[in-house]
Structure 1
Amino acid sequence: MILSHIARPLVSLVTLSSLLVLASCSSTSEATRKTAAEKALPSSSQTGSAPSTSVTPVQGDEFAQFAQWREVDIFIDEMVKKHGFDRKALQATLNKTHYVDRAIQLMKPAPPGKPKNWVAYRARFVEPVRIKAGVAFWNKYAGALQRAEKQYGVPAEIIVAIIGVETVYGRNTGNFRVMDAITTLAFSYPDTPNRVARMAYFRGELENTLLFARDEKIDPFSLLGSYAGAIGWPQFMPGSIRNYAVDFDGDGHIDLRNSPVDAIGSVAHFLIEHGWKPGEPIVFPAKVDSRNQEWQRFINQPLEAKFSQQELRSAGVTPTQPLPTGMPFGLVDLQNGEAPTEYWLGAANFFAITQYNRSFFYAMSVNDLSKALRAARNP
């Protein structure tokens, strides 16, 4: 998932005249997962070839001004073939999408700066405003949180913490039109080393945006979110909505922007589907032996708890608290700028949180905020 960004509303919003045609088309495949979506749409972007036009779109341009690129034609062909979309209706829909330069600028890598600082990052999220708002949210939706914990095995404080980190409980859900942002990134991603893969990923998300709108019988241009297309209280990307979001309030629709109860159930469902183990711990403090460099091989590993305690100890990694017998871990390093790096041992539940946002800082912030919320609610 992607952290929310407060965006200015776009101008010249356009309604979708072809909605009824799109809604009437029948879907011919199951939901596409993120990893599959990155590979599912073969196009010239996968070979790095340039668009077939020299026109450079600018902020607010209608997509019609650059929608004749070969990549767009290939995308439309795929949607017609895979999902039964009407070609003319889909072309008309894409023609009404606006180019968003702000999304492009925000996707560009930050210039080299100061070293990563865990303490500074943590202070942005584990702070009085979020804690107070989180306790209020917990109290207001205690019933839904209890039901989610019972159904999925994810503690209420973890669900509340994730929603707090993502959007401060619905305050910062973003005001970009998702169709504009995702279409821009799908066909005009900035020139970065991972451009090809990212364009393929966002084309998968555009595919899922259109499918979700058709499934829910809503105007795709009504979906608002972050500059990257993340939607609602929990900031789910469209592909994650189709695969993991749930109608937890029972009204027959999935609405992560207007239904905090749907958000609660969806966060819990996402975590259990990504390896959350009910009742197990999350993380334990550790230290490393500077005289034994073997421990460094556990750094920059895949995001999973796969190393035995014996392996870790033999390499100079020592827990500073007792560990559950037989439980595997991964080594977590939290850089602190010029100060010493913190080391932790992450269990399966820690790495389940990293599937929401692939960052040790993020997962540890969720862990720490969850503890602060529980302490504040139950002093």
Structure 2
Amino acid sequence: MKLLLRNHTSTLLLALALAGLALPPAAVHAQQSAKAAKAAKAKKARKAKTPPPPKKPAVDYEGEFVNFGQWKEVKQFLDDMAAKHGFDRLELETLMGKVRYVDSAVQLMKPAPPGKPKNWQAYSKLFIEPVRINGGVRFWDANRDALARAEALYGVPAETIVGIIGVETVYGANTGRFRVLDALTTLAFAYPLAPQRTARMEFFKGELESTLLYARQSGIDPFSMLGSYAGAVGLPQFMPSNIVKYAVDFDGDGRVDLRNSPSDAIGSVAAFLVAHGWNRDDPGPIVYAATVSPSRQWERYLNQGLEAKFRQEDLMADGVVTTSSLPAGMPFGLVDLQNGSEPTEFWLGTNNFFAITQYNRSFFYAMSVVELGRAVKLTRQQM
């Protein structure tokens, strides 16, 4: 009986449609419901046939097992850790048996082939750009209280902290997904052939030591620490030794978490800068634009270390000129930002500029932090 009624209804709807007559509301509703049910059924079928997206791997590399625990240099390192810090030697050997060799870290540490001359304008475009500027505004708004507290406690302006975290990880978007223990062990004992290879291996051995100490102190599995291919951790990309020395529990939860706590990252960046010479009493900008005379007497101020140590009077006498007045009695360093075939930019850097270079020993890096911080602050003020 139901089948006859359904067929009758279908015949009636077809006749009305052929006659050009409007369908009654009930018929329209029935027709729409039938179409919706059919579409839902088709969607469900397609979904059933579509395989789920592949699961994202826990780390960004394929680690190779090479049994680091059998290497002579590694055995000596483990002996030293047991004797110096009281680690259980057998536990360390078991831990090292789980470490993987990271070839991508080795490849990334190889010296770059000779290329184009340094170009500040090209470099700066990678960092002073809309994604980082807009992300900086959001980060500042979301963490305004922690930034204000860090500025009050340490004397480091919010824009400088925002600039560093923006340059380092785009406010936590790119913190790295390498197991720190894998990366540091690889670089400590299998660093590629390169200038200063021995010194670099000693540096990474020190970072590996700090990783094990920090993990024990914090009560965490050292394999749970994720970071960059060079072992840097969290929003501010602190090396493990810097976590031990300078990181602070700025959110007051009883632990330092640079990967998941923006507050801890903010306080730790400020603490690091103060420990490396940041002076809250320095007035005015961090850098001052300058020009130089054709005499080239000013060249003796270049490549003189990462510190502000020259008197204004001497700089001016040798042909360095600024477009704005300088604070009386403050020392400066001459900063040259090369632009390839274009003219070099010159600036006078303060103590606070050179404190930023202790985070990354590069004028390009420090200037990117300054310019990104300025851009974020200006954009935020205009909103």
1:266 aligns with: 268
**Greater RCO structure (CA 8 Å; 6+ sep):** 1
Q: How does 1:241-260 map to 2 (within 5 A)?
A: 241-260=243-262
Q: For 2:195 and 2:323, how far apart are their aligned partners in 1?
A: 40
Matching residue's letter, 1:103: A
Q: Which of 364, 367, 372 does residue 369 from structure 1 map onto? A: 372
2:322 aligns with: 319
Q: For 1:138 and 1:99, how far apart are their aligned partners in 2?
A: 38
Matched, 1:151 2:181: no
Q: For 1:132 and 1:312, how far apart are their aligned partners in 2?
A: 38
2:77 aligns with: 75
Aligned partner of residue 374 in structure 1, secondary structure:
helix
- What displacement does 1:314 show? 2.2
1:211 aligns with: 213
1:288 aligns with: 292
1:21 aligns with: none
Q: For 1:97 and 1:11, how far apart are their aligned partners in 2?
A: 15
- What displacement does 1:71 show? 1.2
2:140 aligns with: 138
Aligned partner of residue 67 in structure 1, secondary structure:
helix
Asked whether the 8 Å contact 2:60–2:177 carries over to 1, the reply is no
Matching residue's letter, 2:268: S
Matching residue's letter, 2:346: Y
Q: For 2:338 and 2:176, how far apart are their aligned partners in 1?
A: 29
Matching residue's letter, 2:132: R
Aligned partner of residue 126 in structure 2, secondary structure:
helix
- What displacement does 1:70 show? 2.1
Q: For 1:163 and 1:127, how far apart are their aligned partners in 2?
A: 14
Q: For 2:139 and 2:119, how far apart are their aligned partners in 1?
A: 29
1:234 aligns with: 236
2:125 aligns with: 123
Matched, 1:345 2:379: no
CA RMSD of aligned residues (A): 1.5
Q: What's the TM-score, normalizing by structure 2? A: 0.83
Aligned partner of residue 211 in structure 2, secondary structure:
helix
Matching residue's letter, 1:346: G
2:310 aligns with: 307
- What displacement does 1:82 show? 1.2
Asked whether the 8 Å contact 2:60–2:178 carries over to 1, the reply is no
What stretches of structure 2 of length at least 5 have no aligned partner?
Answer: 1-55
Asked whether the 8 Å contact 1:159–1:268 carries over to 2, the reply is yes
Matching residue's letter, 2:291: K
Matching residue's letter, 2:286: I
Q: For 2:332 and 2:267, how far apart are their aligned partners in 1?
A: 27
1:33 aligns with: none
What stretches of structure 1 of length at least 5 have no aligned partner?
Answer: 1-6, 13-58
Q: What's the TM-score, normalizing by structure 1? A: 0.84
Larger radius of gyration: 2
Asked whether the 8 Å contact 1:11–1:60 carries over to 2, the reply is no
Q: For 2:87 and 2:290, how far apart are their aligned partners in 1?
A: 54
Segments of 4+ in structure 1 off by > 6 A? none
Matching residue's letter, 2:329: G
Relative to 1, partners in 2 of residues 1:266 and 1:11: Cα closer, same or farther, differing over 3 Å?
Answer: closer
How many equivalent residue pairs?
A: 325
Give the number of the structure whose residues are more often helix, by fraction: 2
Q: For 1:357 and 1:255, how far apart are their aligned partners in 2?
A: 21
Q: How does 1:11-90 map to 2 (within 5 A)?
A: 60-64=63-67, 66-90=68-92
Note the alpha carbon deviations across 1:22-41, whole angstroms, 9 max, x for none.
Answer: xxxxxxxxxxxxxxxxxxxx
Asked whether the 8 Å contact 1:298–1:330 carries over to 2, the reply is yes
Matched, 1:163 2:165: yes
Q: For 1:8 and 1:341, how far apart are their aligned partners in 2?
A: 44
Relative to 1, partners in 2 of residues 1:230 and 1:241: Cα closer, same or farther, differing over 3 Å?
Answer: same
Q: For 2:336 and 2:225, how far apart are their aligned partners in 1?
A: 37
- What displacement does 1:296 show? 1.2
- What displacement does 1:9 show? 4.6
Q: For 2:172 and 2:216, how far apart are their aligned partners in 1?
A: 25
Q: What percent identity do the matched residue pairs reach?
A: 63
Q: For 2:318 and 2:286, how far apart are their aligned partners in 1?
A: 22
Aligned partner of residue 280 in structure 2, secondary structure:
coil
Q: For 1:183 and 1:125, how far apart are their aligned partners in 2?
A: 31
Q: For 2:159 and 2:333, how far apart are their aligned partners in 1?
A: 23
Matching residue's letter, 1:165: V
